[in-house]
Amino acid sequence: MFKFWLKASLVLALLVGVSCGGSEPMESVADVAPSEDEIVEQARGIHERVLTIDTHDDIPFNFATEEVDPGVRGERKVDLPKMREGLLDVGYFVVFVGQTPRTPENYEKAKSDAMTKFDAIHRMTDEMYPDEIGFANTADEIESIHAAGKLVATIGIENGYVIGKDLSLVEKYHDLGARYMTLAHGGHNDIADSATPRADEPESEHDGLSEFGEEVVAEMNRVGMMVDVSHISKQAMLDAVAASRAPVVGSHSSMRAVNDHPRNMDDEQLLALKDNGGVIQTVALGAFVKSPAPERQDAIATLREEMGIEGRNVARSLAEQELSEDEYEARLTEYETRLVQIDEQWPPANVADFVDHIDHGVNLIGIDHIGISSDFDGGGGIVGWNDASETGNVTLELVRRGYSEEEIEKLWSGNLLRVLRAAERIASEMQAE
């Protein structure tokens, strides 16, 4: 797998005069490694040919409106123009509802909020841009819509909190197009323990997956919805893998051995996922990819405080300060300039750091169990893949490291589609029982 990477390293050693175990120097360096232009051209060709799927793209509640028009190239990391520019073929647009106290009233509110996002995604595909992007319910439909020249949308649910205690909602949400559901998010719910409990919660509530959670997993298997084990505690993840008849998906998680973050999966979890036949969609969220230097975090916090910036969207925060057009542009430029200076002093995570996680996963559990996700507009974005228009840079880094076109295709879509098809098949079997 890393044949080219090894060759490239050897070339570098020869060029700087480093001895390689007494072996005779190769007659032609040109025979060993392609040029930079050749690497880029190879990556471009592969990226154009393979089907690319990003399994986690967040949306706001006003998505697919005049305020947040997905057909217009705007401030968000994922929109249709950026997908076209970066040759990102398929997006799992995410129905996310955050955790709140578990009361009947809040369950109803969560369900209503979920429906708002379901409606928005379908409004994008069915009403606003039906000629640009199609909605897919199955793996076959993903491939057929793509073959017709359209972008593809499907849906993932982030946080099983949206079903409350109502098991029937699993089928309802599946009927609306949801093809995976993250069992929990930030905080425990009735289904499972979270990897990141809320401040007012114990470390564990259910010691993993609850009894109700086991019922939820079984129902997800029955309707054909992939069980998403991102965000949940280690024990809950292991319980879900053991409970699921179908392969599971980690829709947006990275490798704890590379970066020790509680949202990442350790090697025991990865091996369990392999045994289950599942796939982990390695996520390009900076803090999961590479632990930021405390000095960097302090410097950014100081910068944001000095400029009165609140929330993730810097441009929107500045716009809310009622500045003149010239003042707005000047302050935005100042922020960007100072952020570049911070980046130079304490570099953030980049595409190479991200692919380090892919390498670890591939080396441990094999190429058939690793995929790719961004978590764009939910915190995702790294240097080199900071929005959908830069998607090709991931493929370029994979080519640099010697991954073949067949392997790259598996990482971008093949493995995920295999798991989705398995979920569809097992659902048919269970419904026939």
- The per-residue pLDDT for range 188-219, each reduced to its tens digit, is 999 999 999 999 999 999 999 999 999 999 99
Phi, then psi, of 368 in degrees rounded to 5? -80, 0
CA 156, distance to chain mean position in Å, is: 11
Give the CA-trace dihedral at 191, 193, 199, 201, to 10 degrees. 70
pLDDT of residue 310: 87
- The per-residue pLDDT for range 344-387, each reduced to its tens digit, is 888 899 999 999 999 999 999 999 999 999 999 999 999 999 99
Token reading at 180: 């995976």
Confidence of residue 316 (pLDDT cuts 50, 70, 90): confident
**35-291+348-432 is classed CATH 2.60.40.10:** no
- The per-residue pLDDT for range 224-236, each reduced to its tens digit, is 999 999 999 999 9
Average pLDDT along the chain: 91
- The per-residue pLDDT for range 245-281, each reduced to its tens digit, is 999 999 999 999 999 999 999 999 999 999 999 999 9
More confident residue, 21 or 289: 289
Average pLDDT rounded to a whole number, residues 141-155: 98
pLDDT of residue 339: 85
29 has a pLDDT exceeding 80 = no
pLDDT of residue 31: 60
Average pLDDT rounded to a whole number, residues 20-41: 63
pLDDT of residue 272: 98
Do 162 and 169 contact (CB within 8 A), yes or no?
yes
- The per-residue pLDDT for range 420-433, each reduced to its tens digit, is 999 999 999 999 99
Q: Is 207 left (phi over 0), alpha (psi -120 to 50) or beta?
A: left
Domain boundaries, the chain: 35-291+348-432, 293-347
pLDDT of residue 320: 87
pLDDT of residue 315: 80
Q: Is 6 helix (H, G, I), strand (E, B) or coil?
A: helix
Do 219 and 168 contact (CB within 8 A), yes or no?
no
Q: What is the DSSP letter of 40?
A: H
User: Using only C-alpha atoms, what is the Rg of the chain?
Assistant: 22
Percentage of the chain lying above the pLDDT 70 cut: 93
